[in-house]
Structure 1
């Protein structure tokens, strides 16, 4: 699971660039995602916030990595903590798993590597919340506050919901269209089939966007039917969905 998580982060870091927009009425990304989710009228399954800081040209020893992870887990008030460590001459890693509060699980990952002419480190905080009642703003602000001590903070915010039973793709397309209209977003590109739909878009209401295939993107909505659970799932993420769907 951890290797997969970090792989997603690496793919995201190296495949897109984050830039700032010029809108005078920017909202925080969590506000836009939350508005989008409410517009979808889906039942909440869970929330995933994947945040990271990258250090270029810096190698962090296992001792320092351990101190940093202890500091972060303490500030997040993580309980029932489990540590995993790996240490080599050219690589150090500390993974901390724990419970932040009832229904909120946190994972902190610090990885650092070095080659002859290359050094890079990163800190990842991955939060999963399953509570039906949630305060997305409070959770995002807390993560920003903790990670800002180490560098520029990047957040990937994903709300995952569902509808009972099979929802026709035509109806799903209509829901996505309504969401885009609600947040004043334009469709950039999409993948559509009988089983899956994934639409990326851009709204100037979010300050940050990514350069993706030469275009501005900062909202992503996907949906598919899960026959095993008899549910139609919907993923709403900014700037992109970084979860498997």
Structure 2
């Protein structure tokens, strides 16, 4: 059974890595990313939803820098200290995950880590589950390919903390790497809910309140009997991607869960990267 848990962790990592690798780079409009985070958080209140979970993915690309495995480890420890991640580290190899044991052996106090140190390639990946069953992923990578140096740091956090904690976490992560003059890329996914099933008219009213608050122009609308999804562009939000011939920096989706008797909402910048 443990291998299924590890498969899930690896899926989280690869999904984030693929998105950040292949998505078009976000372009900034000279606004602070923390302002954007605060703005998105306010949309939950505007739409009368209770926030249940947030996901922040922060990544930074540092050219012309090639770090040792010890330097990467020191940065990893700084991130762990900032996020108050503690626990026993269990080292593993992704190539050997099929031989791992039952996931129940891995508690919230245990951390999974893989290290790779080869010529021109150094990498540390840490998976840190918490008591809520969510996982924080820390990835540090430094390469030297034919004399071209590159370093990448990625922190992916899923949690159910409150408003202040979300903003503080984002600030603290950026402060850790303040000595590098590089541009952070931040993606945010917020999940909220309201008890009961909203009518289609009620869903549209709440969506319109949120988009009016963001001064957003709707770009693409998808609807069926089970869910609705809207991509839009807001001039108030700090970054955007180009989607066809349009700028996009907000996606909103809504779906009713009959099992939980809740109507869920997902709001993300620039696009939703979690399951909905």
Return the match for 1:79 from 76, 86, 89: 86
Give the structure with the higher percent strand: 1
SS in 2 for 1:159: strand
Contact 1:219–1:237, Cα closer than 8 Å, also in 2: yes
Superposition deviation, residue 161 in structure 1: 0.6
1:192 counterpart residue number: 223
- Aligned with residue 16 of structure 1, among 4, 10, 24: 24
**Could you tell me which residue of structure 1 aligns to residue 123 of structure 2?**
93
1:10-89 correspondence runs (5 A): 10-21=18-29, 28-56=35-63, 60-80=67-87, 82-87=111-116, 89=118
Quick one: distance in 2 between partners of 1:59 and 1:3?
27
User: Residue 82 of structure 2 contacts residue 173 of structure 2 at CA under 8 Å; is this kept in 1?
Assistant: no
Distance 2:166 2:29 in 1: 23
Q: Name the count of aligned residue pairs.
A: 244
**Structure 1 residue 67: deviation in Å?**
2.6
- 2:160 corresponds to which residue? 130
Question: CA 1:2/1:86 → structure 2, altered by over 3 Å: closer, same or farther?
Answer: same
1:227 aligns with 2:227: no
Q: Is the 2:34–2:167 contact (alpha carbons within 8 Å) kept by the matching residues of 1?
A: no
- The two structures, once aligned, show a CA RMSD in angstroms of 3.3
TM-score, normalised to structure 2, is: 0.74
Higher Cα Rg, which structure: 2
Residue in 1 aligned with 2:170?
140
Residue 27 (structure 1) shift: 7.9
8 Å CA contact retained: 2:34, 2:171: no
1:54 and 1:2, CA in 2 relative to 1: closer, same or farther beyond 3 A? farther
1:84: Cα distance to partner? Answer: 0.7
8 Å Cα contact 1:209/1:216 also seen in 2: yes
Stretch of structure 1 that moved more, 166-175 or 126-135? 126-135
Q: Is the 8 A contact 1:147 1:153 kept in 2?
A: no
Distance 1:113 1:27, change over 3 A: closer
